[in-house]
Structure 1
Amino acid sequence: MEAAQKKVQQMIDDNAVMVFSKSYCPYCNNTKRILEELNARYTAYELNQESDGDEIQAALHKMTGQRTVPNIFIGRVHIGGNSDLEAVVKNGKDGKRIEDLLSEAGAL
């Protein structure tokens, strides 16, 4: 578990936008579509296509309390899932628009 947590943290630290996803998940696909429409650079880690996917998902659950995918981080900040991203797109977060968050993270 500790190795998986270190790997998760490294991916979050190394990527402006990190999406932990499953390739067949419609909510994950919607998240990636939203990010693409915003022209955001992001990295997706498809848990169902990686040998350590179950361990990574367990580490994410321990770190964030979120068991489901997508599990989204922007600028090292946990956003949540697809509905959380949609809410940020619509309403912003902490007084900032989604474009501001993406820009500050270096994803635009």
Structure 2
Amino acid sequence: MSVITQGIRDLVKKAISDNTIFSKSYCPYCIGAKDLFDDIHVDYKALELNDHVDGDAIQKALAEMTKQNTVPNIFVNQQHIGGSDALKSALASGKLEKILKEAGIKAKL
């Protein structure tokens, strides 16, 4: 049985409704993912788990939801992208461009 509270699940679900990177401020993969969004001029919300009082619980809730235990854990237009490598792959394959267009988000690709 999960020990994650409904409040944490609600917080995660609300954050997912934005373009969100669940991140840790010191993680080089997280920094790279945020840099990629900056480079293509896409607004995003970064939730720095190491700076959040409930960061550990948020990361556990994300692991339950996505089966991904690591950061960055990236969502665009409420779709789970994955981590840093998955984001780069989505960019290279055109998948990221498609997701952004579906959301009405203009990017400099």
Whether these two folds match at TM > 0.5 is yes
Matched, 1:40 2:42: yes
Distance 2:42 2:10 in 1: 25
Q: 1:21-51: CA deviations, max 9, x gaps? A: 0000000000000000010010000000010
Structure 2 counterpart SS, 1:67: coil
1:82 to 81, 84, 97: 84
| Equivalences, count | 102
Matches within 5 A, 1:24-103: 24-93=26-95, 98-103=96-101
Q: Tell me, which stretches of 5 or more residues in structure 1 are unaligned?
A: none
Identity of aligned residues (%): 44
Give the partner amino acid of 1:5.
R
Distance 2:104 2:32 in 1: 21
Distance 1:84 1:103 in 2: 18
Runs (4+) of structure 1 moved beyond 3 Å? Answer: none
Distance 1:90 1:55 in 2: 32
Give the partner amino acid of 1:25.
C
Q: Tell me, which stretches of 5 or more residues in structure 2 are unaligned?
A: none
